[in-house]
Amino acid sequence: MPVAHRLWREARERNGLGDRDLVELADRWGIPEGRLRTVANFYPRFSEPDAAGEGTAFACEGFFCGLAGGGRATAGDRAFSCPGMCDRAPVRWHPKRGFAAGTAELSEPAWDPEVELATPTVFRLARTPAFFTASAGESVAGDLYSPAFPGLRGETLLEEIGRLGPRDRRNPAVTLAERWRRAAETAADQRFVIAHAGPGDPGSQANRQLMVHEAARLLRGMECCGRAIGATEGVIHVGSENPATTAAVEEAVNRATAAGFLGTSFDVTVVPGFGSYVGGEETALLNAVEGRRGEARVFPPEPEISGLFGRPVALAEAETFVLLAALGETPVVSPATRLAAVFGDGFARPGLAEIDGDTSVRAVLEAAGVADSAWGLLFGGPRGTLLLPDEWDLLLDPAEWVSGDIRPGNWSFYALTADHEPRDVARRLLDYAAAENCGKCDPCRLGTLAARDLVKSGREPRRFGDILTAMEMTSLCDFGRQIPGPVRKLARAFGEKIFARA
């Protein structure tokens, strides 16, 4: 068992790990104490008690909880990173009682251990529905676990996936077939398929909801990917702060195994995480699954060449695998169909929007009832794009994005209204980046701190721009390279409000 997973088990049994615990475990396991500390110190939850009393809880310090008026661990609460519950921000979490909306000042929070399992509101703007349909989880043959694209495997299956054309969710310029073919063509004794719900990536709650309500399709999509690249092992990575989601996915895996769909040529293991890992950056995820520090890796090689334990990996969010299964059932589904979380007080009707390339930003906003006072839109979370009102007629089709400044991030929508000051939004973006980065590279670790200090002081806008440029050009991973995008646009559009003392 990897080091981090062994430590997590001990932390839960001992109600947190202290210095004496680490010394004892190092001696018992025959592992250098420094190695244990290196891993344990990266994940704050290892040293925190899970529940040290009836009043103990965790307050989310994620980006959107901060914008919603939370984000501060007070009144005895401990801090934790984004659990993917941004649609209910600000949130608190108790390991034994579940989630509650609101800040720590609430004297009687309404704890709900099953709120993760709530059925989402979906408004359909895509031409052909693909998610949460009446037949969700059932194949054309009516069998809950019939394979997607039966009879196809290897290059033949990759060619079929390439013909249908689904693209990488975060980098739409690349097709899934292109990424996965690299994994299939890399010589290896073992390959892996990894699905995740984006823990630590604010606004990515659609993936968590798919894991609960479309688990059968998720497993069929993963198995299909396994046949395409020659993988026999699958991993589903779920945040440890989502116990109900974890239990639901584990139950689905057990049902699929009992039905004979899993366990013969393809197995799936559910691996809980230990907290956030660089906003969902995929190489940091690989380290977390391996039980190491959740730091970004230097690449090349890409994960498709050398990923989990040095073996080739096909890695994607849950939505990608669910869509793949849906395409196998109904080829008329557009490969550009996506789910977008629409949330926050700036919308009268928040929920999940099912969109495709013919859907405009304005259509999503009108369907969700955007507030009249909205002056901007965070599209794709803190690593996405700030869209101003004159850009809201944009089609959600990456082929139409002439400007390279548009990054879809996690495809979520959050409206910035009169309740949000541009300077506060910029500061909170940099607060999030400073807390979330792994610290491995100087441009991201030091750049976020320096840029945040300049926003707080309201001075030196030129130096501020230079810092953001350095982060974009020299950061190790996409986290450091993408954070400057929305911050820079805020500074350009509202510089007089952000740098009032310049």
- Decide: helix, strand or coil at residue 175: strand
- Per-residue pLDDT reduced to its tens digit, 179-215: 999 999 999 999 999 998 766 788 888 888 999 999 9
Query: Long-range contact list for 11-15, CB < 8 A, 24+ apart?
Result: 11/45, 11/46, 11/47, 11/50, 12/50, 15/49, 15/50, 15/51, 15/52
Sign, CA dihedral 314-316-319-320, equals: negative
User: In which element (H, E) is residue 99 found?
Assistant: strand 98-101
User: In which element (H, E) is residue 386 found?
Assistant: strand 385-387
Which regions in the chain score pLDDT beneath 50? 51-53, 73, 135-142, 502
Closest to 202 in 3D by CA, of 384, 394, 470, 459: 384
What is the token pair recorded at 212?
A: 């609960």
* Count of other CB atoms within 10 angstroms of residue 370: 24
Omega before 301 within 30 of 0, i.e. cis: yes
**DSSP letter string, 209-229:** HHHHHSHHHHHHHHHHHHHHH
- Do residues 149 and 328 touch, judged by C-beta distance below 8 A? yes
User: In which element (H, E) is residue 272 found?
Assistant: strand 267-272
User: In which element (H, E) is residue 159 found?
Assistant: helix 154-164
DSSP conformational letter for 261 = S
What is the token pair recorded at 162?
A: 């390439």
What is the token pair recorded at 501?
A: 């003392």
pLDDT in the model for residue 137: 41
pLDDT in the model for residue 141: 38
d(CA 344, CA 90): 10
pTM above 0.85, yes or no: yes
- Do residues 455 and 418 touch, judged by C-beta distance below 8 A? no
d(CA 54, CA 348): 35
d(CA 57, CA 195): 29
- Do residues 170 and 158 touch, judged by C-beta distance below 8 A? no
Secondary structure of 455-486 in HEC code, one letter for each residue = HHHCCCHHHHHHHHHHHHHHCCCHHHHHCHHH
Looking at the DSSP assignment, which residues form a beta bridge with residue 93? 58, 99
- Per-residue pLDDT reduced to its tens digit, 465-475: 999 999 999 99
pLDDT in the model for residue 402: 65
d(CA 316, CA 378): 23
pLDDT in the model for residue 142: 43
What is the token pair recorded at 211?
A: 């894991």
pLDDT in the model for residue 107: 56
- Do residues 367 and 233 touch, judged by C-beta distance below 8 A? no
